[in-house]
Chains A and B, each alone.
Chain A
Amino acid sequence: MCALASVSSVTEPYTPWRLRREDVENTTFKMFSEILLNVFKEAVAGKEATPYLRTEGVDQCREAINLLDQQLATALEAMWEESFSLNSGALIRWVDLSTKGEEESSEFRIERKVIGTFEGIGQVFSIYTDEYLQRKRFLILTTNENYDDELMDRLLISERDIRLQFKNTPLSFEYIPKLLDALGQVLNPNVRLIWSRSLDGISTSSFATSTT
């Protein structure tokens, strides 16, 4: 085994979307409020400045609310398709960007998809990313110590689906079975930890070096 370099004792990995639950609620509420406000603004736009809405104004508001309802349903449906858990930080990031009217970077979109896909596999412990041979590489650390064919099948099918979705981006995936004493640690200083889970109180360590 290679000699170990000094290992950082950082216990909270760099995860820009690791937010608290109240942040989820606040951001969701903010998004909802702003959309609602915008819809009402549009509904009233073009009308004379009057404190009372006429019948047609009420109808317009009703239509706007129905539209809002459909938009929310569509947005949620899309998120379910990407297998997000509702407390996922990735969802927060998405909502935050939505409220700001910003588009997420393609890199983040890929990372979000990778996290959303692999966090559903129980043996996946942490996910790192870096650039290797001109490819965006993901290091998927798993908890198995010996080869696990069923797990590998799940990982590879997930990988294939991700790669098919992002055909134009060169991607690479590595699956690293872990020994328990090294769980969560990757010594390469150029990798960035993007997701990890805690298992029975074992904390993760990382070198939080961004490659982007």
Chain B
Amino acid sequence: MASLQAHLRQAQHNEKLAQELLASMEYKDWIITITFYAAIHYVEAVFFKNPEIVHTEISITPNYPGGYYGYRSDQILQYYPEIYPSYHKLYQQSRIARYLYFPADREFLEEPVQEYFSDSDVEGFFQNDLATIRQSLNC
């Protein structure tokens, strides 16, 4: 199990790289993905301080509906509902960025991620959503 400090440092590391990539906007897909992974580590850091959760990978019960994502999502909703929209947005958009994927056996994204998201969308994920998560969790 990673420590609180490990999660925080990893979150900051990811956030720093996302910020560097934001300068050129040449890799929107990776900015979105890295921003989401920064968010995950901020969330896991605050989970670590919560004795009811501690860590997703060790606290999750077998066959939990939705797996790790479902568990993490439910814990956020229960304990930190104020960050739920931002967290879930980053999750959804990073999935699109990584897989060009939409459910129901259909690939709807017929254009590169670079064209699907505007510059301001990507800036918003980083400057608004990730910031909301970090600030709300006091990380």
Contact = CB atoms under 8 A, between A and B. Distances in A.
A176 B103 contact: yes
Nearest to A161: B81
Interface string A153-169: 10011011001100100
B104 A172 contact: no
Contacts of B106: 1-2, 182, 186-188
Contacts of A178: 108
Interface residues of B, number: 30
Question: Which of the four size classes fits the interface of chain A?
Answer: 20 to 34
A160 B76 CA distance: 10
Contacts of B85: 153, 156-157, 159-160
B51 to A, nearest CB: 20
Contacts, number: 88
Among B81, B102, B103, B124: residue with most chain A CB under 10 A: B103
B88 A159 contact: yes
A148 to B, nearest CB: 9
Nearest to A191: B104
A13 interface: no
B112 interface: no
Interface string A139-155: 10000001101001100
The secondary-structure label for the interface of chain A is: mixed
Nearest to A188: B104
Nearest to B85: A156
B103 A146 contact: no
Given A159-B88, A176-B102, A187-B106, A134 B65 contact: yes
Given A156-B88, A160-B81, A179-B110, A128 B117 contact: no
8 interchain residue pairs of minimum CB distance: A170-B65, A134-B65, A156-B85, A188-B104, A186-B104, A160-B84, A174-B103, A135-B65
Interface of B: 63, 65-67, 70, 74, 77-78, 81, 84-86, 88-89, 92-93, 102-108, 110, 116-118, 120-121, 124
17 contacts: A1-B107, A2-B106, A134-B63, A134-B65, A137-B103, A147-B118, A156-B84, A156-B85, A159-B88, A160-B77, A160-B88, A164-B77, A167-B78, A177-B108, A182-B108, A188-B105, A191-B104
